[in-house]
Structure 1
Amino acid sequence: MSTPKIPKLTPIIQPWIKDLTSNLNQVNSWIDKYGSPINLLNLDSFNQNFRRYDGIFKEYDLKSSVFFARKANKCKSFVLAAKEFGFGVDTASLNEIKDCINAGLAPEKITITAAVKNRELLSYAVAHQIPIILDNKDECELLHQILIEVNKTIRVGFRMSGFWHNGEKLYSRFGFDVDDVVDFISENITKAGKYNRFKYHGLHFHLNGYCTEQRIHGLSQTLDVADALSNLGLETTFIDIGGGILMNYLASSSEWETFHKSLKESINPDKKEITFQKDLLGIIHVDGKLIGEPKVYPYFNELYQERFVEKILTGIKDGIPLYKHLIQRNIEIRIEPGRSLLDQTGITIAQVAFRKWDSQGRLLVGLEMNRTQLFSSSADFLLDPIFLPQNKIADAPCEVYFVGAYCLEQELILKRKIGLSQHPQVGDLVCFVNTAGYMMHFYESEAHLFDLAQNLIVEKKDTWEAIPDEEYWINCRK
């Protein structure tokens, strides 16, 4: 059997992370106090990411708003930071909306795109006059009933879907079909219409995946809808193109390409496994053939964050860049980044609990955490962690799999085999970087009655200080 080196996937690491993880005594004190794992979050990076988006809109002289997609991370401190730094929050639940109001965000700095909007949520939004993005006719019916009951009106936008791209309709379970939305709005959102308490303000879409061309077509067709509505006396003040804005996790494109090549080759009998039991991360192996690609986030990207948005804005419609169409119509552009606004804002650190060899000769390293605390819809989190041994020992490098605390055979923290500089010892630490976006909280559970990970806001003064998220929230609201 050939024994190639395990392909590396070296993450981009901001200086604050390098500085903090070099202070092992400080990190140990937090683990001792709060348990394992801990999530450490830095709000300065959050602000830097917002400024990147704000800067590209200013570069093109656009009216704009950025709304942080709160669902990507549950820490309340990000809501406070959004208020402090001057941008808004996109909310997907009643509790997320309440956090925004309790933090003092103005209603116009909040948008509601929740997939399910029940009476309690809509009543709260009406009471606080928070604009709502409407998804379907039943939502319209319920919202209008509430408005009649309390004798109020409210600003609304309409989510759209079914855009045409390369001759086919793009599927989405959300929103009003692009071919029907003009008739629906024009017939219902007028003084004589069925929903005459709605104050129409804008249009919204959020496309699955990360294709800029699809978003260019979506924005172009949304402008057509805005023009058709304008001809009927309904002016569109904003178009929100949602999120799904790529970010870049990895330092090297060649490492990313090598990993994919090695993953596919690893299925061969003469190749060493690089993932647990040669898991192909979503590729299907049938009759000696590989079908499909890994079902993972595209961790390396050359076009990401503000340049991803720029690509959309400079797409051409009728011979003119889309950003100029927005300026000509005096329409504000809005975005709702989640993952990419959280780039480099957080790390997760866990403590080694045990080492053991499994029945097939793999070195398993048990961490005091569970896989839901580092988990999203991606088949694996494809970044090399930072290994933080308590002591340097004269030892050979080793290859390990990190496993977690749930009583499941498939309880792997990472499916990928990881190379370490020395054999881990009980009490050593492992730091997973850039985990704030979706990885920490989106699927985190309390099965087995395990406590949820403590979320700590870290700030560098004379030394690093860590404040629990809830405490930070209470102190900053005083």
Structure 2
Amino acid sequence: MVNLAQSSPAEGEPLSLPAQIDPRITRLLRETGFIRALKSGFGGPVHLLFPEIFRDTISRFEDVLDQRALHYHLMFAKKANKAESFVQESALAGIGLDAATVEEAANAMANGIRPDHIGISGPAKSDILLALAAQQGFLIALDSPDELDRASFIARRVGRPLRALIRLTPESQEKSRFGIAAARLSLMLDRLDDGIQLEGLSFHLSGYSIPERAEAAFTTARLLLKLRQDFPNCRKLDIGGGLPVSYCRETDWQTFLDREQPGDFHGNKRFSGYYPYHQPHDGPSALAAILDTKPSGQTHSLAALLKETGIELLLEPGRALLDQAGITLFSVQGVKDRGDYGIITADGTSFSLSEQWFDSEFLPDPLLLPARPEAPSPYPASIGGVSCLDSDMLTWRKISFPQKPRRGDILCYPNTAGYQMDSNESEFHGLPLPRKIAVGLNAPDFTWCLDETYCAATAGIDIQG
């Protein structure tokens, strides 16, 4: 039997960061015959998607909002993963989708998302996207006076007003390239005409600070209430995404940060920074904390303010909705001994594990699924891609595997659905893009289909007869 046990590193052992893994996924990984059949059947790296987990996470977000009796609109930020199955599940759940391109918006509608449930973000949208938004009724976040003028002109040409928010730059992140400072909001308001139907305000905030997002939401909500005097349709507040995912336990993350040194990595590699792989909150509980925040000097929580004033809350989680909703499998193509550690060559490239291309590393430990389990004999190894680039490393860190990996063994990277799978995918060297496979976890027997043939309305249901 494959040993999937992960333990925290003891003093003197190689640096590790065990991932938190949903029990349903652990059960799947123990079905080695099923895993190997999928992997060998499609060749190259494969991404396994878990739409049922995605569906459960949508429900957890909705529970947080329903418990506070809020008027809200949840939108999946599609940029976090291109998979069709997650869009299908979003449509079936009745939530919306945040897009930034014509292609993303068209894909959303093709998979069942209602046009009025599509939000459009990003700076300086293309003319085609603005025209499509006016024609279909998307909600656009306008980023600048120039964009507002162009959007209004296009909307008048189309003959339908464009539903819009104005995106603000919070004071705490005044150097951001997105949005406009509240002090300059009049530059936007003075340009409004019958081409634009202003429905509210949004803001862009980088990072995962709960107090900072709550403060920005309070400030923007107060400004929104003032605007209602002249713009009665201003009832929407979009707080964006920026909700965290916790990939590992707090003690393991702190141990990693305390012990990390150049010698833990192939070539003494150093990085400019890491994603905060442990968070005290996951996405739904972080949202609850934001909504329950009472900023200094306030008598009401954010949730109470929104409820009492009838403001509709919009939010756009991506990574947080995809927590535990996918894993990525590579095969071991070869292992080179380098004395005190080895270098594994996987059957793909780091373009399929996108964190490396942000001068960082995806840190949760990959799991070894050996074709022939052996008695434990730890073997440290880094993991390189199949390309001719020295920098093509999936994992620079020397991972302590329970046995020496062999050609044909499978490497499993956990929790990769959020941004890791396809943000930077490429057919470099003529390699095909990894296939995405939707796997059903809840039935007694695991089921699968290609992502592009997934139908959320019938998934897991026998409709024959």
| Larger mean Cα displacement after TM superposition, 65-74 or 148-157 | 148-157
SS of the residue 2:453 aligns to:
helix
- Equivalence for 2:254: 257
Aligned: 1:357 with 2:337: yes
- Equivalence for 1:331: 311
In the alignment, the residues of structure 1 paired with residue 35 and residue 154 of structure 2 have an alpha-carbon distance, to the nearest angstrom, of 51
2:200 to 199, 202, 212: 202
> Aligned letter for 2:90?
A
Superposition deviation, residue 361 in structure 1: 5.0
Once the two structures are superposed, the pairs formed by residues 57-456 of structure 1 within 5 Å of their partners are: 57-161=65-169, 163-165=170-172, 170-181=174-185, 183-189=186-192, 195-250=193-248, 252-263=249-260, 266-267=261-262, 273-282=263-272, 295-317=273-295, 318-358=298-338, 361-376=340-355, 377=358, 379-394=360-375, 396-456=377-437
Superposition deviation, residue 450 in structure 1: 0.9
Q: Cα distance 1:357–1:124, how it changes in 2: closer, same or farther (>3 A)?
A: same
> Aligned letter for 2:281?
L
Q: Cα distance 1:476–1:448, how it changes in 2: closer, same or farther (>3 A)?
A: farther
- Equivalence for 2:36: 28
In the alignment, the residues of structure 2 paired with residue 129 and residue 177 of structure 1 have an alpha-carbon distance, to the nearest angstrom, of 27
Q: Is the CA contact (8 Å cut-off) linking 1:459 and 1:466 kept in structure 2?
A: yes
Superposition deviation, residue 305 in structure 1: 1.3
Superposition deviation, residue 462 in structure 1: 4.7
1:47 to 34, 51, 55: 55
Q: Cα distance 1:73–1:475, how it changes in 2: closer, same or farther (>3 A)?
A: same
> Aligned letter for 1:276?
H
Q: Is the CA contact (8 Å cut-off) linking 2:92 and 2:457 kept in structure 1?
A: no
- Equivalence for 2:463: none
**What do residues 19-69 of structure 1 show as CA deviations (whole Å, max 9, x unaligned)?**
211111111111221112110001111111111111111121111111000
Q: Cα distance 1:323–1:346, how it changes in 2: closer, same or farther (>3 A)?
A: same
Q: Is the CA contact (8 Å cut-off) linking 1:7 and 1:255 kept in structure 2?
A: no
Superposition deviation, residue 329 in structure 1: 1.4
In the alignment, the residues of structure 2 paired with residue 235 and residue 180 of structure 1 have an alpha-carbon distance, to the nearest angstrom, of 21
Q: Cα distance 1:476–1:450, how it changes in 2: closer, same or farther (>3 A)?
A: farther
**What do residues 90-136 of structure 1 show as CA deviations (whole Å, max 9, x unaligned)?**
11111110011112321221111133411111122222121211111
Superposition deviation, residue 185 in structure 1: 4.4
In the alignment, the residues of structure 1 paired with residue 308 and residue 457 of structure 2 have an alpha-carbon distance, to the nearest angstrom, of 45
SS of the residue 1:380 aligns to:
coil
- Equivalence for 2:3: none
Q: Cα distance 1:463–1:401, how it changes in 2: closer, same or farther (>3 A)?
A: same
In the alignment, the residues of structure 2 paired with residue 129 and residue 395 of structure 1 have an alpha-carbon distance, to the nearest angstrom, of 59
In the alignment, the residues of structure 1 paired with residue 427 and residue 122 of structure 2 have an alpha-carbon distance, to the nearest angstrom, of 24
Q: Is the CA contact (8 Å cut-off) linking 1:186 and 1:232 kept in structure 2?
A: no
**What do residues 345-374 of structure 1 show as CA deviations (whole Å, max 9, x unaligned)?**
00001100001124x753111110101101
In the alignment, the residues of structure 1 paired with residue 213 and residue 301 of structure 2 have an alpha-carbon distance, to the nearest angstrom, of 14
> Aligned letter for 1:364?
I
TM-score of the aligned structures, taking structure 2 as reference length = 0.91
Superposition deviation, residue 141 in structure 1: 2.1
Q: Is the CA contact (8 Å cut-off) linking 2:344 and 2:381 kept in structure 1?
A: yes
| Larger mean Cα displacement after TM superposition, 34-43 or 9-18 | 9-18
Q: Cα distance 1:224–1:378, how it changes in 2: closer, same or farther (>3 A)?
A: farther
> Aligned letter for 1:279?
K
Superposition deviation, residue 431 in structure 1: 0.5
> Aligned letter for 1:17?
I
> Aligned letter for 1:172?
S
In the alignment, the residues of structure 2 paired with residue 111 and residue 197 of structure 1 have an alpha-carbon distance, to the nearest angstrom, of 18
Superposition deviation, residue 238 in structure 1: 1.1
In the alignment, the residues of structure 2 paired with residue 115 and residue 426 of structure 1 have an alpha-carbon distance, to the nearest angstrom, of 46
> Aligned letter for 2:346?
L
Q: Is the CA contact (8 Å cut-off) linking 2:152 and 2:162 kept in structure 1?
A: no
- How many pairs align? 444
Aligned: 1:463 with 2:463: no
Superposition deviation, residue 258 in structure 1: 1.0
Q: Is the CA contact (8 Å cut-off) linking 1:164 and 1:217 kept in structure 2?
A: no
> Aligned letter for 1:447?
F
Superposition deviation, residue 395 in structure 1: 6.0
In the alignment, the residues of structure 1 paired with residue 291 and residue 364 of structure 2 have an alpha-carbon distance, to the nearest angstrom, of 31
In the alignment, the residues of structure 1 paired with residue 456 and residue 135 of structure 2 have an alpha-carbon distance, to the nearest angstrom, of 24
In the alignment, the residues of structure 2 paired with residue 361 and residue 411 of structure 1 have an alpha-carbon distance, to the nearest angstrom, of 21
How well do the aligned residues superpose, as a CA RMSD in angstroms? 2.0
Q: Is the CA contact (8 Å cut-off) linking 1:347 and 1:433 kept in structure 2?
A: yes
Gaps of 5+ in 2: 1-10, 460-465
> Aligned letter for 1:173?
R
Q: Is the CA contact (8 Å cut-off) linking 1:243 and 1:335 kept in structure 2?
A: yes
**What do residues 278-326 of structure 1 show as CA deviations (whole Å, max 9, x unaligned)?**
32322xxxxxxxxxxxx11111111231221122222225322122111
SS of the residue 1:402 aligns to:
strand
| Larger mean Cα displacement after TM superposition, 225-234 or 127-136 | 225-234
> Aligned letter for 2:432?
D
SS of the residue 1:342 aligns to:
coil
**What do residues 170-200 of structure 1 show as CA deviations (whole Å, max 9, x unaligned)?**
321011211121x2344232xxxxx322111
TM-score of the aligned structures, taking structure 1 as reference length = 0.89
